[in-house]
Amino acid sequence: MTRLPSKAKSDKAKPALTHIDAKGEARMVDVSAKAATERTAVAEGLVVMSKATLELIVSGNASKGDVLATARIAGIMAAKRTSELIPLCHPLALSKVTLDISTDAKLPGCRVRATVKVTGPTGVEMEALTAVSVACLTIYDMIKAVERGVRIEGIRLVEKSGGKSGHYRAGN
């Protein structure tokens, strides 16, 4: 296992990785002393495909069924299971998970946006990003039989609020 060098005293002003201890070993961050506050995160991603494949989704004629409804459910389920998928994430009692998936003829493809909310001692950015990632993968899975060249792009955190670090909004 590769270990990171210990932080030198002169490096104290530099941001540190929170999941690495002084010995360079992975650890789960202790959030027990942090106040439970309302925290929200929004993430997004794109699934780019041909116009013909998009038309199958829009018309409801995809052979595996309702692509967008299935992706929505998959994204919600993924957000709820993030701590089982991403090492060192805290299990959270989420209070809200929404997946908005819209079709866009100009891409052509689908825009996937997840909003996740919790009242707790740690944020929900990973849950929102996981929800978007799995929803995008589900769209791919449901249409791969007709088009293997589908691209998943631009998965990113759009906005987060709450917690010590406050509000963040990504630039366009």
Positions annotated as catalytic residues are: 141
- Per the listing, tokens 């791919």 go with 140
SS3 of residue 64 by DSSP: coil
The token pair at 91 is: 């299990």
User: Packing angle between helix 51-59 and helix 125-143, nearest 10 degrees?
Assistant: 100
Count CB atoms within 10 A of the CB of residue 59: 8
**CB burial class (10 A; 0-12, 13-18, 19+) of residue 36?**
exposed
Count CB atoms within 10 A of the CB of residue 141: 15
- CA–CA dist 90, 49 (Å, integer): 35
In sequence order, the 6+-apart residues with CB closer than 8 A to the CB of 111 are 44, 45, 46, 101, 102, 103, 104
The token pair at 103 is: 């079709």
